[in-house]
Amino acid sequence: AEEEARLRRFNFTRILNQDTGTKTVNLLGEIESTPAILIAEKTAFNVTGAHLTKFSHDLHLPKVTLIARNDIYHSFMASQNSEYGEVKLTLIFPATETHIQKYTHQQLRMVVETPEIYRELVKPYVEEKRGSGRLDWVHNILEHKAEKESIIVEDTDDVEGFILLPDLKWDRKTMASMYTMAIVRRRDITSIRDLKKMHVPWLKNLRRRIPEVICEKYSGIEPDQIKLYVHYQPSYYHFHLHAISISHDSGIGQATGKAILLGNIISRLESLGGDEEAGMESVELTYFLGEESELWQRVFKGINGKGKAKE
Ligand code: M7G
Protein backbone atom coordinates (compact mmCIF):
# COMPACT_ATOMS: atom_id res chain seq x y z
CA ALA A 1 0.00 0.00 0.00
CA GLU A 2 0.89 3.67 -0.24
CA GLU A 3 1.82 3.91 3.47
CA GLU A 4 4.17 0.94 3.26
CA ALA A 5 5.94 2.47 0.27
CA ARG A 6 6.26 5.68 2.26
CA LEU A 7 7.82 3.81 5.19
CA ARG A 8 10.38 2.21 2.89
CA ARG A 9 11.49 5.62 1.62
CA PHE A 10 12.54 6.61 5.17
CA ASN A 11 16.11 7.90 5.10
CA PHE A 12 17.83 7.65 8.47
CA THR A 13 19.47 10.85 9.84
CA ARG A 14 20.14 10.27 13.56
CA ILE A 15 18.95 8.54 16.72
CA LEU A 16 16.82 10.83 18.91
CA ASN A 17 16.57 8.44 21.84
CA GLN A 18 16.77 4.81 22.81
CA ASP A 19 15.37 3.05 25.82
CA THR A 20 16.52 -0.41 26.78
CA GLY A 21 13.65 -0.78 29.27
CA THR A 22 10.80 -0.20 26.88
CA LYS A 23 12.90 -1.63 23.98
CA THR A 24 12.26 1.37 21.81
CA VAL A 25 14.44 3.45 19.55
CA ASN A 26 13.34 6.83 18.16
CA LEU A 27 14.89 7.61 14.78
CA LEU A 28 14.90 10.90 12.95
CA GLY A 29 15.04 10.77 9.18
CA GLU A 30 13.55 12.16 6.03
CA ILE A 31 11.04 11.05 3.47
CA GLU A 32 11.49 13.09 0.31
CA SER A 33 13.37 15.84 2.21
CA THR A 34 10.62 16.24 4.83
CA PRO A 35 11.38 15.36 8.48
CA ALA A 36 9.98 12.06 9.67
CA ILE A 37 10.20 10.24 13.00
CA LEU A 38 10.24 6.47 13.14
CA ILE A 39 9.71 4.77 16.51
CA ALA A 40 10.59 1.09 16.60
CA GLU A 41 9.55 -1.08 19.48
CA LYS A 42 10.25 -4.74 20.03
CA THR A 43 7.04 -6.44 21.00
CA ALA A 44 6.63 -9.02 23.76
CA PHE A 45 8.60 -12.25 23.42
CA ASN A 46 7.05 -14.90 21.33
CA VAL A 47 7.48 -17.68 23.91
CA THR A 48 8.07 -20.33 21.29
CA GLY A 49 10.65 -18.29 19.40
CA ALA A 50 14.16 -18.57 20.76
CA HIS A 51 15.56 -15.37 19.30
CA LEU A 52 14.74 -11.71 19.16
CA THR A 53 14.84 -9.90 15.89
CA LYS A 54 17.52 -7.33 15.49
CA PHE A 55 16.35 -4.01 14.20
CA SER A 56 18.67 -2.34 11.72
CA HIS A 57 18.71 1.18 10.41
CA ASP A 58 18.28 0.19 6.82
CA LEU A 59 14.99 -1.58 7.42
CA HIS A 60 15.60 -5.04 6.02
CA LEU A 61 12.06 -6.01 6.80
CA PRO A 62 10.50 -8.27 4.22
CA LYS A 63 7.01 -7.96 5.59
CA VAL A 64 5.43 -4.74 6.84
CA THR A 65 1.73 -4.48 7.66
CA LEU A 66 -0.11 -1.25 8.33
CA ILE A 67 -2.15 -1.50 11.55
CA ALA A 68 -3.56 1.99 11.66
CA ARG A 69 -3.16 5.40 10.14
CA ASN A 70 -4.48 8.69 11.45
CA ASP A 71 -3.35 12.01 9.97
CA ILE A 72 0.47 12.08 10.19
CA TYR A 73 0.64 9.03 12.48
CA HIS A 74 1.13 5.52 11.07
CA SER A 75 1.63 2.29 12.93
CA PHE A 76 2.95 -0.92 11.39
CA MET A 77 3.95 -4.40 12.45
CA ALA A 78 7.10 -5.67 10.80
CA SER A 79 8.43 -9.19 10.88
CA GLN A 80 11.49 -10.83 9.41
CA ASN A 81 10.37 -14.35 9.95
CA SER A 82 7.35 -15.57 11.89
CA GLU A 83 9.69 -17.69 14.03
CA TYR A 84 11.14 -14.52 15.56
CA GLY A 85 9.50 -11.69 17.44
CA GLU A 86 7.99 -8.78 15.65
CA VAL A 87 8.86 -5.10 15.65
CA LYS A 88 6.20 -2.43 16.03
CA LEU A 89 6.89 0.69 14.01
CA THR A 90 5.36 4.11 14.46
CA LEU A 91 5.98 6.59 11.69
CA ILE A 92 5.30 10.31 12.17
CA PHE A 93 5.39 12.06 8.84
CA PRO A 94 5.69 14.93 8.33
CA ALA A 95 7.23 15.48 11.77
CA THR A 96 7.22 18.96 13.33
CA GLU A 97 9.81 20.55 15.62
CA THR A 98 7.52 19.70 18.58
CA HIS A 99 7.65 16.01 17.65
CA ILE A 100 11.43 16.07 17.35
CA GLN A 101 11.66 17.67 20.81
CA LYS A 102 9.27 15.13 22.32
CA TYR A 103 11.16 12.09 21.03
CA THR A 104 14.65 13.39 21.81
CA HIS A 105 16.50 12.07 24.85
CA GLN A 106 16.55 14.81 27.48
CA GLN A 107 17.13 15.68 31.10
CA LEU A 108 14.04 16.13 33.25
CA ARG A 109 13.25 18.93 35.70
CA MET A 110 10.74 19.11 38.53
CA VAL A 111 8.46 22.12 38.39
CA VAL A 112 5.76 23.50 40.69
CA GLU A 113 2.81 25.01 38.88
CA THR A 114 0.85 27.31 41.20
CA PRO A 115 -2.66 28.44 40.22
CA GLU A 116 -1.17 31.86 39.34
CA ILE A 117 1.56 30.41 37.12
CA TYR A 118 -1.09 28.30 35.41
CA ARG A 119 -3.41 31.24 34.80
CA GLU A 120 -0.79 33.71 33.65
CA LEU A 121 1.79 31.62 31.83
CA VAL A 122 0.70 28.05 31.18
CA LYS A 123 -2.91 28.62 30.09
CA PRO A 124 -1.96 31.06 27.28
CA TYR A 125 0.58 28.46 26.07
CA VAL A 126 -2.09 25.73 26.10
CA GLU A 127 -4.51 27.95 24.13
CA GLU A 128 -1.83 28.63 21.55
CA LYS A 129 -1.02 24.90 21.15
CA ARG A 130 -4.66 23.93 20.70
CA GLY A 131 -5.08 26.04 17.60
CA SER A 132 -2.13 24.66 15.68
CA GLY A 133 -3.52 21.48 14.07
CA ARG A 134 -1.94 19.22 16.69
CA LEU A 135 -5.38 17.87 17.55
CA ASP A 136 -6.38 16.87 14.02
CA TRP A 137 -5.91 13.19 14.83
CA VAL A 138 -8.27 13.52 17.84
CA HIS A 139 -10.93 15.24 15.74
CA ASN A 140 -10.52 12.56 13.06
CA ILE A 141 -11.36 9.92 15.66
CA LEU A 142 -14.34 11.84 17.03
CA GLU A 143 -15.67 12.49 13.51
CA HIS A 144 -15.08 8.89 12.34
CA LYS A 145 -12.59 10.04 9.72
CA ALA A 146 -9.90 7.69 11.03
CA GLU A 147 -9.59 4.54 13.15
CA LYS A 148 -13.35 4.02 12.99
CA GLU A 149 -12.92 0.25 12.73
CA SER A 150 -10.79 0.20 15.91
CA ILE A 151 -13.36 1.79 18.22
CA ILE A 152 -14.00 -0.43 21.26
CA VAL A 153 -16.99 1.55 22.43
CA GLU A 154 -18.59 4.88 21.63
CA ASP A 155 -20.99 6.85 23.81
CA THR A 156 -22.52 9.55 21.63
CA ASP A 157 -23.89 11.80 24.36
CA ASP A 158 -22.79 15.37 23.54
CA VAL A 159 -21.82 16.25 27.10
CA GLU A 160 -20.76 12.97 28.69
CA GLY A 161 -19.88 10.93 25.60
CA PHE A 162 -16.50 9.41 24.76
CA ILE A 163 -14.73 7.04 22.39
CA LEU A 164 -12.60 4.22 23.76
CA LEU A 165 -10.01 2.78 21.36
CA PRO A 166 -6.53 1.19 21.28
CA ASP A 167 -3.68 3.62 21.85
CA LEU A 168 -1.19 4.13 19.04
CA LYS A 169 1.38 2.52 21.36
CA TRP A 170 -0.39 -0.83 21.59
CA ASP A 171 0.24 -3.71 19.17
CA ARG A 172 -3.47 -4.52 19.73
CA LYS A 173 -2.95 -8.11 20.67
CA THR A 174 -0.61 -8.54 23.65
CA MET A 175 -2.97 -8.37 26.65
CA ALA A 176 -0.11 -7.95 29.15
CA SER A 177 0.67 -4.62 27.51
CA MET A 178 -2.93 -3.61 26.85
CA TYR A 179 -2.97 0.11 26.25
CA THR A 180 -6.17 1.93 25.36
CA MET A 181 -7.38 5.50 25.62
CA ALA A 182 -10.74 7.21 26.06
CA ILE A 183 -11.21 10.50 24.25
CA VAL A 184 -14.10 12.61 25.51
CA ARG A 185 -16.49 14.11 22.97
CA ARG A 186 -16.65 17.56 24.50
CA ARG A 187 -13.92 19.89 23.29
CA ASP A 188 -13.89 22.43 26.11
CA ILE A 189 -11.69 20.50 28.56
CA THR A 190 -8.03 20.96 27.69
CA SER A 191 -6.52 19.07 30.62
CA ILE A 192 -7.23 18.22 34.27
CA ARG A 193 -6.89 21.96 34.98
CA ASP A 194 -10.39 22.44 33.50
CA LEU A 195 -12.02 19.77 35.67
CA LYS A 196 -14.51 21.03 38.26
CA LYS A 197 -16.55 19.55 41.09
CA MET A 198 -19.57 19.40 38.82
CA HIS A 199 -17.72 16.84 36.65
CA VAL A 200 -17.36 14.30 39.47
CA PRO A 201 -20.44 12.16 38.63
CA TRP A 202 -19.31 12.01 34.99
CA LEU A 203 -15.74 11.05 35.95
CA LYS A 204 -17.07 8.34 38.28
CA ASN A 205 -19.18 7.01 35.45
CA LEU A 206 -16.08 6.85 33.20
CA ARG A 207 -14.12 5.13 35.97
CA ARG A 208 -16.77 2.42 36.22
CA ARG A 209 -17.61 1.96 32.53
CA ILE A 210 -14.21 1.96 30.83
CA PRO A 211 -12.81 -1.12 32.63
CA GLU A 212 -16.18 -2.84 32.24
CA VAL A 213 -16.22 -2.35 28.48
CA ILE A 214 -12.57 -3.41 28.08
CA CYS A 215 -13.29 -6.67 29.92
CA GLU A 216 -16.34 -7.33 27.75
CA LYS A 217 -14.22 -6.90 24.63
CA TYR A 218 -11.06 -8.75 25.68
CA SER A 219 -10.65 -11.91 27.68
CA GLY A 220 -7.74 -12.43 30.05
CA ILE A 221 -8.12 -9.21 31.99
CA GLU A 222 -10.35 -8.13 34.88
CA PRO A 223 -11.58 -4.62 35.84
CA ASP A 224 -9.23 -4.33 38.82
CA GLN A 225 -6.27 -5.10 36.56
CA ILE A 226 -6.78 -1.89 34.62
CA LYS A 227 -5.17 1.38 35.58
CA LEU A 228 -6.95 4.62 34.66
CA TYR A 229 -4.86 7.76 34.63
CA VAL A 230 -4.38 11.17 33.10
CA HIS A 231 -1.15 12.93 32.15
CA TYR A 232 -0.18 16.32 33.40
CA GLN A 233 1.22 17.82 31.29
CA PRO A 234 -0.33 15.90 28.39
CA SER A 235 1.12 16.17 24.90
CA TYR A 236 -2.33 16.82 23.45
CA TYR A 237 -4.70 19.33 24.99
CA HIS A 238 -8.01 17.57 24.51
CA PHE A 239 -9.13 15.71 27.63
CA HIS A 240 -8.42 11.98 27.43
CA LEU A 241 -7.83 9.09 29.82
CA HIS A 242 -5.30 6.28 29.58
CA ALA A 243 -6.62 2.82 30.43
CA ILE A 244 -3.81 0.27 30.56
CA SER A 245 -3.01 -3.12 32.00
CA ILE A 246 -1.38 -2.80 35.46
CA SER A 247 1.15 -5.43 34.44
CA HIS A 248 2.49 -3.19 31.68
CA ASP A 249 5.53 -1.09 32.46
CA SER A 250 5.19 1.73 29.95
CA GLY A 251 8.09 3.70 31.36
CA ILE A 252 8.06 7.42 31.97
CA GLY A 253 4.46 7.84 30.81
CA GLN A 254 3.21 6.24 33.99
CA ALA A 255 5.79 7.67 36.36
CA THR A 256 4.86 9.78 39.33
CA GLY A 257 5.31 13.38 38.24
CA LYS A 258 3.47 12.70 34.98
CA ALA A 259 0.59 10.27 35.51
CA ILE A 260 -2.23 10.97 37.97
CA LEU A 261 -4.74 8.23 38.74
CA LEU A 262 -8.30 9.13 37.84
CA GLY A 263 -9.48 7.99 41.27
CA ASN A 264 -7.13 10.44 42.96
CA ILE A 265 -8.35 13.30 40.77
CA ILE A 266 -11.93 12.46 41.70
CA SER A 267 -11.20 12.49 45.42
CA ARG A 268 -9.18 15.67 45.07
CA LEU A 269 -12.17 17.37 43.42
CA GLU A 270 -14.53 16.03 46.07
CA SER A 271 -12.41 17.40 48.88
CA LEU A 272 -12.24 20.92 47.43
CA GLY A 273 -14.22 23.61 49.24
CA GLY A 274 -16.54 25.94 47.35
CA ASP A 275 -19.41 25.34 44.95
CA GLU A 276 -19.71 23.18 41.83
CA GLU A 277 -17.56 25.65 39.88
CA ALA A 278 -14.57 25.01 42.13
CA GLY A 279 -11.97 22.88 40.43
CA MET A 280 -8.42 21.91 39.61
CA GLU A 281 -7.63 25.43 38.46
CA SER A 282 -7.16 26.36 42.10
CA VAL A 283 -4.68 23.67 43.16
CA GLU A 284 -0.90 23.57 42.98
CA LEU A 285 0.47 20.82 40.75
CA THR A 286 4.00 19.42 40.87
CA TYR A 287 5.33 17.48 37.90
CA PHE A 288 8.36 17.07 35.65
CA LEU A 289 9.15 18.45 32.23
CA GLY A 290 11.83 17.60 29.69
CA GLU A 291 14.41 20.30 29.11
CA GLU A 292 13.64 20.21 25.40
CA SER A 293 9.96 21.04 25.94
CA GLU A 294 8.64 24.44 25.03
CA LEU A 295 6.96 24.80 28.42
CA TRP A 296 10.30 24.32 30.17
CA GLN A 297 12.09 26.69 27.83
CA ARG A 298 9.43 29.38 27.86
CA VAL A 299 8.04 29.27 31.38
CA PHE A 300 9.75 27.14 34.00
CA LYS A 301 13.42 27.50 33.18
CA GLY A 302 13.26 31.13 34.27
CA ILE A 303 11.13 30.41 37.34
CA ASN A 304 13.39 27.59 38.60
CA GLY A 305 16.43 29.72 37.84
CA LYS A 306 15.13 32.55 40.04
CA GLY A 307 14.54 30.14 42.92
CA LYS A 308 18.18 29.07 42.72
CA ALA A 309 19.43 32.65 42.68
CA LYS A 310 17.68 33.33 46.02
CA GLU A 311 19.27 30.44 47.88
P1 M7G B 1 -0.80 12.33 26.12
O2 M7G B 1 -0.93 12.12 27.57
O3 M7G B 1 -1.42 13.59 25.54
O4 M7G B 1 0.66 12.35 25.63
O5 M7G B 1 -1.44 11.06 25.44
P6 M7G B 1 1.87 11.36 25.61
O7 M7G B 1 1.97 10.98 24.15
O8 M7G B 1 2.98 12.24 26.06
O9 M7G B 1 1.58 10.22 26.51
C10 M7G B 1 -1.73 10.96 24.10
C11 M7G B 1 -1.91 9.48 23.81
O12 M7G B 1 -2.49 9.34 22.55
C13 M7G B 1 -0.59 8.73 23.77
O14 M7G B 1 -0.66 7.60 24.61
C15 M7G B 1 -0.43 8.36 22.31
O16 M7G B 1 0.21 7.13 22.11
C17 M7G B 1 -1.86 8.32 21.82
N18 M7G B 1 -1.99 8.68 20.41
C19 M7G B 1 -1.35 9.68 19.81
N20 M7G B 1 -1.74 9.74 18.51
C21 M7G B 1 -1.25 10.71 17.58
C22 M7G B 1 -2.64 8.76 18.29
C23 M7G B 1 -3.39 8.34 17.14
O24 M7G B 1 -3.31 8.90 16.05
N25 M7G B 1 -4.22 7.28 17.33
C26 M7G B 1 -4.34 6.65 18.55
N27 M7G B 1 -5.18 5.63 18.62
N28 M7G B 1 -3.65 7.04 19.64
C29 M7G B 1 -2.81 8.08 19.51
Q: Is the CB of 136 under 6 A from ligand 1?
A: no
For ligand 1, atom 22: residue with the closest CA? 168
212 CA distance to ligand 1 middle (Å): 22
Burial class of 290 by CB neighbour count within 10 A (0 to 12, 13 to 18, 19+): middle
Question: Any idea which residues carry the catalytic annotation?
Answer: 240
Q: Is the CB of 181 under 6 A from ligand 1?
A: yes
Where do the structural domains in the chain lie, given as residue ranges?
A: 2-96, 106-307
Q: pLDDT tens for residues 247-292?
A: 888 788 889 999 999 999 999 999 999 999 999 999 999 999 999 9
Contacts (Cβ under 8 Å, ≥6 apart) of 42: 23, 24, 52, 53, 55, 85, 87, 88
Q: 255 φ, ψ to 5°?
A: -75, 155
Q: 85 φ, ψ to 5°?
A: -70, 175
Query: Taking residues 87-112, what's their average pLDDT?
Result: 96
For ligand 1, atom 20: residue with the closest CA? 168
Of all atoms in ligand 1, which is nearest to the CA of residue 230? 2
Q: Is the CB of 168 under 6 A from ligand 1?
A: yes
Q: pLDDT tens for residues 29-86?
A: 999 999 999 999 987 654 433 344 444 444 555 688 999 999 999 999 987 655 556 7
- What CATH code is assigned to 106-307? 3.30.428.10
Q: What is the mean pLDDT of the chain?
A: 91
Q: Is the CB of 248 under 6 A from ligand 1?
A: no
Q: pLDDT tens for residues 84-93?
A: 567 889 999 9
Q: Is the CB of 234 under 6 A from ligand 1?
A: yes
167 CA distance to ligand 1 middle (Å): 6
Q: 109 φ, ψ to 5°?
A: -135, 135
Partners of 309 in the β-ladder? none
User: Mutate which of 88, 126, 235 to test ligand 1's pocket (most atoms within 8 Å of Cβ)?
Assistant: 235
CATH architecture of 2-96: 2-Layer Sandwich (3.30)
Quick one: which of 57, 56, 55, 65 has its CA closest to 85?
A: 55
Specify whether the CB–CB gap between 80 and 20 falls below 8 A.
no
At 27 the three-state DSSP class reads: strand
Q: Is the CB of 236 under 6 A from ligand 1?
A: yes
Quick one: which of 67, 72, 13 has its CA closest to 41?
A: 67
Q: pLDDT tens for residues 132-188?
A: 889 999 999 999 999 999 999 999 999 999 999 999 999 898 888 899 999 999 999
